[in-house]
Amino acid sequence: MKPRIPALALVIALVAGLPAAAQCYADYKAKQDNPLRLHYGVAELPASACGDARAAAAHLSPRLERDGWILLQIMSTFGPEGLESRRENAGRFFLRY
């Protein structure tokens, strides 16, 4: 019988090297009608929606709709490196939804 310790150590080393969870964000444009109001915002998304505007919209639209906003456009998806450069422009809609 072969010892399983080396194989187990290899699996543990590989798993430990993976990031805990990839952070994903999207910047977007939304609107409300009567009166017309527009906003630009930044929202956190699940990693599965990163890089896919349709998936990002599917996650974000219901959140916005709860407050009467309609998603107009997912502008981009990005990781944590893009957050600070968007903070000021998003204002009160920075990570609100």
Q: Is the peptide bond between 35 and the residue preceding it cis, with omega within 30 degrees of 0?
A: yes
Q: Following DSSP, what letter does each residue of 29-42 receive, concatenated? A: EEEETTTTEEEEEE
How do residues 38-62 score in pLDDT, each as one tens digit? 999 999 999 999 999 999 999 999 9
The answer, yes or no, to whether residue 3 has pLDDT greater than 70, is: no
How do residues 52-93 score in pLDDT, each as one tens digit? 999 999 999 999 999 999 999 999 999 999 999 999 999 999
pTM for this model (two decimals): 0.75
> What is the spatial order of strands in the sheet that 37-45 belongs to?
37-45, 24-32, 70-78
- Do 50 and 77 touch, CB atoms closer than 8 A? yes
Question: 20 or 65, which is more confident?
Answer: 65
